[in-house]
Amino acid sequence: MSNVDFDRQRNELVETGVCRLGVRDDAVLQAMRSVPREEFVSEAMREFAYRNAPLPIGSGQTISQPLIVAYMAEALELTATDRVLEIGAGSGYAAAVVSRIAKEVFTVERHRELADAARSRLERLGYDNVHVLHADGTLGWPEHAPFDAIVVSAGAPRVPPALLQQLVIGGRLVIPVGDQQHCQKLIRVTRRGEDDFQHEQLTDVRFVPLVGEAGWESTEE
C-alpha cells in the first residue's frame, strides 16, 4: 500500500472513527492526522493500521485503538507547554500522538524489547521530544517529575500512589482502573492541592493489565 493510501485512510479514520464519535479537540485531531500509525506496527499488520481497533505488537501486548488514544489525549486537557508522563509505551504510538500536542513526553515500558523498539522507532521518525525508559511505570519516573499530565495505557487494579505524587498541582492523571484484569473504568484524577485529588469517571474501556509493584502481579514469569 502506498503512503498516499495510508494518508487517505488516516484522514478517513480521524473523520469517521474519532471526530464523528465525539472527540472534538482540534489539537488532538490534528495530531491524529499527523502520526503514521502504519509505522508503529509490524509489516504483517500494516494493512490493518487504520482499523479502529487494537492490534498485536509482540510480547503479548497491543497498540491501542485510535479512538481511545484520541479520547485519552483529549481527557488530559493538554497545552503546548505541558510535560507528560505515559505508562505503557508499547509501540510508542500514543506517545507520538501526545508529543504533537504537548512540549515533552516521558514514556515508560516494562518489556525491554518493546521499549527498545519504541525508542528506535520514535528516533527514526523524528519524535525527538519523546523519551523512553525501560522500567516499572507503576513507580512513575521520579527523576523527571512532576508532570502536568500522566496517562496510563494499561489497566490498573487501583491508582498507583507514586503517580499521584508526581503530578503538579492542577495536573491530570487519566488511568483505566478495574478489579478485573481486562475490563476497566477510565478515571481522571485532578490534583487540586497537596492532598486534594478530584476523581471523575469517564467511560468503560478494555486495556491489557498494568503489571508491576503497584499494579497486577505478573503471571508471565
Binding site for ligand SAH (CB under 6 A): 61-64, 87-88, 90-91, 93-94, 108-111, 114, 136-138, 153-154, 208, 210-212, 215
Q: Which is nearer to ligand SAH, 158 or 192 (CB)?
A: 158
Q: Which is nearer to ligand SAH, 160 or 171 (CB)?
A: 160
Q: How far is the CB of 92 from ligand SAH (least distance, A)?
A: 6
Q: How far is the CB of 132 from ligand SAH (least distance, A)?
A: 11
CB 217 within 8 A of CB 191: no
The span from the CA of 79 to the CA of 113, in Å, is: 31
For 204, other C-beta atoms within 10 Å of its C-beta total 11
Residue corresponding to grid cell 476523581 = 199
Count Cβ atoms within 10 A of the Cβ of residue 210 and give its class: 0-12 exposed, 13-18 middle, 19 or more buried: buried
CB 111 within 8 A of CB 61: yes
| 120 labelled catalytic | no
The span from the CA of 40 to the CA of 19, in Å, is: 22
Q: How far is the CB of 193 from ligand SAH (least distance, A)?
A: 27
Q: How far is the CB of 214 from ligand SAH (least distance, A)?
A: 8
Q: Which is nearer to ligand SAH, 69 or 167 (CB)?
A: 69
Nearest 10 degrees: Cα torsion 111, 112, 116, 118: 10
Q: How far is the CB of 45 from ligand SAH (least distance, A)?
A: 12
The span from the CA of 182 to the CA of 196, in Å, is: 29
**Position with the least CB separation from ligand SAH:** 90
Q: Which is nearer to ligand SAH, 25 or 86 (CB)?
A: 86
Q: How many angstroms separate the first and last alpha carbons of the chain?
A: 39
Q: Which is nearer to ligand SAH, 140 or 171 (CB)?
A: 140
Catalytic residue of the set 2, 42, 59, 64: 64
Catalytic residues: 64
